Structures are given as C-alpha cells and as structure tokens.
Structure 1
Amino acid sequence: MNYILENENIKLSTNTNGGELTSIFSKEDSLEFLWNGNSDYWKYHSPILFPIVGKVKDGKYLVDGNTYELPQHGLARTREFNMIEKTDDYIEFELLWSEDTLKIYPFKFSLRLSYKLLENGVKVGYKVINLDNKEIYFSIGGHPAFMCPLMNEENFEDYYFEFNKIENANIMKLNSNTGYFSGITDQYFHNESIVNLSLDLFKDDALVFSDLESNLISLKSKNHNKSLSMDFSGFPYLALWTKATGAPFICIEPWYGHADYHDFNGELKDKSGIEKLEVGKTFTAYYSLFIE
C-alpha cells in the first residue's frame, strides 16, 4: 500500500512493499529526484539491505555451524511491511520475524523503517530490535537511487559528487565477476572532494569507501544549481553505484556492513563489519536527504 507525506515544498511517497521510499517530488520544480523504478534498468527505488549488505560467499553463511542461504542484500527488500504509525509528517513500517524468515535467518527481530518529512527533504530511520533470547548478528544499509540526469536534455556525465571535506580516502576493491571484496584497497582521493561521473568509474562495480572524513555528499549538475544531498553521519561505509552498461540513475548507499571477502568461510558473528545486538536491545541509524 502506498502512503503520502507532503508539505508546501515536496511530496514523498512510501510503500509497504519493502518499506520503500518510492518518490521525492519537488513541487517548486515539478522534478522527481528519486529513481522511478523503471524495471528495464532496475526495479527498485530505495531498498533496505538487511540482514546482509551485498553478497555472502556462494549465497550461504554459517550460524552455530548450521548453513543458511540468503540472496544478495538479504530478505527485507522483497517483503511486505506493516504500517505501524502515521502522522502528517511521519510514517513508520515494521517487518517482524516469522517461521518463514527463521528458515533463512535464524534470529527473532523487529525491523522498523521510518520516514520523517523535513522542510526540503526526508530523514530515513532504521531500527533493529532483538526479540530473541540470544545475541543477534546483522548488517543493514540503504540503497537509494536518484535520477541522473534530472533533466531530459542532460547527460550522466554532466553530473558530479561533492563531499563536504577534502578527502584522501581509499576504496575497497570489489571483484566485478563475483561481487566479493578482494581485501585490497586503493587510494582514490588525493586532497580532493569532487567525483566527476562517468560510466567508466563503475566498470569494476561500486566505489566503496570505509575511511571518509566527510559526513555529507551532494549530487550536482554542471548546468544548473539543483542538487540532492545526503547526510550519512555515523555510517562506517559509503558506496556509489550505477550500472556500468549505462542507466539514468546513481545510487548513494550508506552501510553498516559489507559483502564478504572472497576468502571468508567463517561464522556470521565473525564476518567483517557485522553488527552485534544483545538481548532486548535496539540498534538505530539515520540518514537524511535534502533537495535544493
């Protein structure tokens, strides 16, 4: 089911299918900033990644010596959520564990996604509650995609990212054939804050950063002053991605956790970047999007 939040500046659309944010529409410009979900390219808008980010080795992972299987990015993005709270400027969805989820993820949890309408944007909230009688382990992340280009007469290469601090950050190298990390890092920035977009940037899959100084990234055009910014404060990883074959969108992905290293064969609790949550405890994270 679709739900709307709006003010005089923007209109947000959300859906119980996957708990997704499906539209960020600027009333002033009559422009859609969030990717439209055209399945010819990519059918999602802003999926939640839970309880894994990326891939586990061969689609399988271990918990207490038992083998379980999860598809890329986990189970939540294809599930139906329940709407549990709504006001004029806020909505919250929940996905609860079930006998079905226990077969592929052996932990009892409540996953809650919230959207708070801002003057010119939205604050996206993640909450994981441990409902089990043992510690639970998970990764979680966002995968919002944005229209790029925004205008019909523009090209993808007319756009660039700008970070709010000068960077000397590395990227974690992905194996483009497998989707696993190689364990190699390469320095990407050299006292810079700009990433000029081109499809060649993504020939080896996503750009994944783990040591950024910045907490704000903006998608801008060389042709006008309309922009979209994300405050990803607190997230230890940030990925940038589009299809290397070409697609009119770009993703900015804040993560807690990441795909497996190519040689990892251990337990989920020992996976790099994994989050541990004690019995009865709650994990929270937020990122915010602003349009100008």
Structure 2
Amino acid sequence: MKMKLYIAILFLFVLGFQQANAQYAFFPEQGVITYDKTVHVKNMLRRQISMMKETDFQRKFFEDMLTKVPETAVLQRKLTFSGSESILEPLAKDQPAMVAQLLRFGFLDYGTKIYQNLATKQTSMTLEVGGSPIAISDSLTNVKWKITNEYRNIAGYDCRRANGVTLDSVYVVAFYTDQIPLASSPSTLHGLPGMILGLVVPEQNFNIYASKVEMTGTTVTDNLIKKKASAFTREQTRNKMREILGQWLSEKQFGLFFAAMML
C-alpha cells in the first residue's frame, strides 16, 4: 500500500515538473530574439528610379548604383523582451562595399533603436538620417489587424498570419506566435496575441524573420533618450522632415521615406 502511494506521489511530482518546464519552454516572458532583415536592394533602387524625372540629377546616380549592388542585403536586429517591455537594436554585420555605402546614406536602414512599453502604451525611438540623430517619444503606433488561417513555422515556433495596415496606408504581413505572450515585434508594430517572428512589408521591399529565440533572464530599460523634453513626436518629426526634404522629394517619395523611418 505504501509502495503504491509512493509511486502515485512520484508520478504527480514528475507530471508537475514536466508541466512547469513546458510552461517555461513555451510561454517565456523574458528572452532575446535575433532577426534577419532581408532588403531587396535592386527593387528599392528601381522603385526610386521609377519615381524620378529624366532630368532629376539623382537619377544617374541611382542608375549607376543599380548595376553594382547585390540583389539583396541581410541586416540583423536583436529584440530583448521582459514582461510588457521590449527594446530593439541593430547588430553590427560586415557588408559588401556598395551595401555599406548605401547604409551610410541611410538608404537601406536607419540604425533605429526602438523601446516599447505595452502596459503604458508608450514608445521611444532613436535613429540617424544623413548623419543627424533623431529622437522620438510618442504613444504606440496604430495598427489595424486581420488574423487569417494561414500558418508557418519560424525559428521552431508555430506562427499564424495576420494582415495589417499602419501609418494610415502601409500594408504589412505578420506571423506571430502565442507561445511568446508579449505582443511586440522587430519593428514599431504591436497588438497581436503574441510575438511577431515574421514580418513582410511589400511597399518597403523588405522582410524580417527570427533566426534564433533564446529564453533567458533579461532586463529592459527605457534609456534611449536622456532628455525626453528634447524628443519629437512622430507628427513633429514628419513635419520637420517634410520641411527639409520637400524641395527634393515628391509627396510619394517622401511618404515611402517616412514610412521606412517609422517602421
């Protein structure tokens, strides 16, 4: 009788241990995710050229670049998350000479760092445009999502597809997993029932997919902007950039440029 009781207690203990481990493995609240951002470089250049006039002095520069750049470039980002907070940062990666030059121009990426607090619905961003640093402090971006019945596996996690619209008209495709409960992403997007591990932005000619998910204890702090009073809102940033670039870019070109900054 005692032996049967002992076996029953041992069984319950083992079952409880397995469940606890399963919860830790599949529902992490802290960790680090590495993402690969693939930019379709030639497509981006072709898009820019198509919006330029034959007399535009920049057209010859972009047409020359088109013959030299690779079809795609892969950049890396790291997302650290804990509780309701996350911070996204670029990772240094050696690039071919022409890609490195485009990165210096801010054409492929802006080296953006993004802090999000889903509990307070606030975000902070820092980036660089033309060598000038920009700091943004605002509420979270608005995203309208429609969840579909399409699935795919990313970095070992089953993810469900959602189609979204943000920044008024930018169409995005996201793949999220509810096995990681924080509703964040490798961008300014948020609001799905779990972490976004895959993101496609057709208009911007890039996609981002998680390559590694690490469950580890982390701490996230909003320390991107030392003096919040000196930061702009998204709308203030847009108005300022439009004032500076209005004479060089058409409305459509500027819209694409600003959306790339804010994503």
TM-score range, shorter chain: 0.3 to 0.5
Provide the TM-score with structure 2 as the length reference. 0.32
- Structure of larger gyration radius: 2
Q: Which has the higher strand share?
A: 1
* Greater per-residue helix proportion: 2
